[in-house]
Amino acid sequence: MSLKCELKSVRKAFGAFVAVDDVSLRIEDGEFVVILGPSGCGKTTTMRLIAGLENPTDGSIAIDNRIVSDPGRGVFVRPERRDIGMVFQSYAIWPHMTVFENVAYPLRVRRVRGADLSRRVQQALEVVGLEKELKRSATALSGGQMQRVALARALVANPTLLLFDEPLSNLDLKLREHLRIELKELQRRTGLTSIYVTHDQAEAVELADRIVVMDAGRVVQVGRPAELYARPNAKFVAEFISSANIFEAIVVSQQMPQGDTELKTEGGRAFSAHSDEILHEGDRVEVMIHPEDCILDESDGSRDWLHVELLQTRYQGTSTRYTVRWGNAPFDVIVQGTTSELTEGAEKRLRVRPGSARVIPQEGRRP
Ligand SMILES: Nc1ncnc2c1ncn2[C@@H]1O[C@H](COP(=O)(O)OP(=O)(O)OP(=O)(O)O)[C@@H](O)[C@H]1O
Ligand SMILES: [Mg+2]
């Protein structure tokens, strides 16, 4: 695979404030990369740097192995010369123009005219399923249609790279889920390298080949969605990517090289977890257990199970989330499907699937 876009130690400061801090990324040709992080963490700024709408303070950016930004060497390629298609949260569709004219705009700027122009606009509209709407005024379109027009406009000039900045966040949930599937399908079909920004983890997990998790201007972890879910390298990633139980525990003993670690909590939980790092008796660590990696059943007094008290039941569509008291602290368990109603206050037995509890690497001790 060849490299489509590379950021090397990119930093962007606005006065004394550093919005993007030492970001390095390598994006392969054909990849769908999602940048995920909370509001203000620098996602849009990173996109604007790639697009050439901002100039980095330090570092360099290359697209198709050509340096497009490198302030140290005085290199800056203007946005219109970077071959990039962009779709933003606000549709940025011109209301006074027809669908055709909106999509034709990037080609007109590039001095494409006549039959060639018509053919290419038609093709881009076919890709997004709007070929029959080309004469309509943009104001007459629904939100989902407007976002498709924006997508067709991003595709029409045959970009080498597509950038999406929260393109679906103005749409209602149903439409968002529908367009998300279409978008992924379109990307598969065209093979276009895409960078997609969102703060919605469900969107990130569904769309991404790889997710880049950002916090406060920095990249915290990069990996496939399943990797980030199973092996977060920081508490921030675990919290952002899932709704895992995360709590502090004290190391009792450890077996290396397997990494099997016996732990306890102050409230009286005793359990084993996996750790990638060497730990010592008495070390305080943070542990993650996904609520879907647990089993909850009727109490029968056997010693293999943990005895817990049911505190709360919440139905969540296709699953049920139970909060139980385990070792004097709340702990969540998710059970898929419809289950029989459980009475709050009831005694239950809890089992954590072997191998599913993990010690989260500590800040500064991260590999
Ligand atoms: N032109 C600017 N001048 C000064 N500060 C800026 C500028 N652009 C962005 N910032 C600051 O940089 C930080 C990162 O902004 P950015 O828009 O990249 O965040 P984001 O991750 O896209 O957030 P959101 O999810 O809310 O869109 C913010 O604190 C923002 O206020
Ligand atoms: Mg933003």
Tell me how far the alpha carbon of residue 47 lies from the centroid of ligand 2, in angstroms. Answer: 9
Tell whether ligand 1 has an atom less than 6 A from the beta carbon of residue 199.
Answer: yes
For residue 319, tell me if it sits in a domain.
yes
Tell whether ligand 1 has an atom less than 6 A from the beta carbon of residue 44.
Answer: yes
Identify the domain containing residue 294 by its residue range: 243-360
- Give yes or no: residues 184 and 261 share one domain: no
Tell me how far the alpha carbon of residue 198 lies from the centroid of ligand 2, in angstroms. Answer: 8
Is the pLDDT reported for residue 74 higher than 60?
yes
Protein residue closest via CA to atom 10 of ligand 1: 19
Domain boundary among 192, 212, 238: 238
- Give yes or no: residues 37 and 76 share one domain: yes
For position 292, which CATH number holds?
Answer: 2.40.50.100
Is the pLDDT reported for residue 340 higher than 70?
no
- Give yes or no: residues 152 and 15 share one domain: yes
Look at 3-7, 116-120, 309-313 and tell me which has the smallest mean pLDDT: 309-313
Domain boundary among 238, 261, 283: 238
Using a pLDDT cut of 90, give the percent of the chain over it.
65
Number of domains comprising the chain = 2
- Give yes or no: residues 23 and 92 share one domain: yes
- Give yes or no: residues 55 and 181 share one domain: yes
pLDDT in tens, 227-279: 999 999 999 999 989 889 999 999 999 998 888 999 999 999 999 999 999 99
Tell whether ligand 1 has an atom less than 6 A from the beta carbon of residue 198.
Answer: no
pLDDT in tens, 126-182: 888 888 988 999 888 888 888 889 989 998 988 999 999 998 887 788 888 888 888
Look at 24-28, 89-93, 94-98, 363-367 and tell me which has the smallest mean pLDDT: 363-367
Tell whether ligand 1 has an atom less than 6 A from the beta carbon of residue 261.
Answer: no
- Give yes or no: residues 341 and 298 share one domain: yes
- Give yes or no: residues 276 and 174 share one domain: no
For residue 332, tell me if it sits in a domain.
yes
- Give yes or no: residues 304 and 169 share one domain: no
- Give yes or no: residues 231 and 262 share one domain: no
pLDDT in tens, 21-52: 999 999 999 999 999 999 999 999 999 999 99
- Give yes or no: residues 83 and 35 share one domain: yes
For residue 366, tell me if it sits in a domain.
no
Domain boundary among 187, 215, 238: 238
pLDDT range class, residue 366, cuts 50, 70, 90 = very low
pLDDT range class, residue 367, cuts 50, 70, 90 = very low
For residue 96, tell me if it sits in a domain.
yes
For position 8, which CATH number holds?
Answer: 3.40.50.300
- Give yes or no: residues 227 and 286 share one domain: no
Q: Give the pTM.
A: 0.89
Q: What pLDDT is recorded for position 299?
A: 59
Kindly report whether the peptide bond that precedes residue 106 is cis, defined as omega within 30 degrees of 0: no
Q: Please say whether the beta carbons of 248 and 210 come within 8 A.
A: no
What's the whole-number mean pLDDT along residues 294-302?
Answer: 73
Protein residue closest via CA to atom 7 of ligand 1: 14
For residue 216, tell me if it sits in a domain.
yes
pLDDT in tens, 177-201: 888 888 898 899 889 999 999 999 9
For residue 365, tell me if it sits in a domain.
no
For residue 105, tell me if it sits in a domain.
yes
For residue 136, tell me if it sits in a domain.
yes
- Give yes or no: residues 247 and 218 share one domain: no
* Ligand lying closest to the C-alpha of residue 13: 1
Q: What pLDDT is recorded for position 211?
A: 97
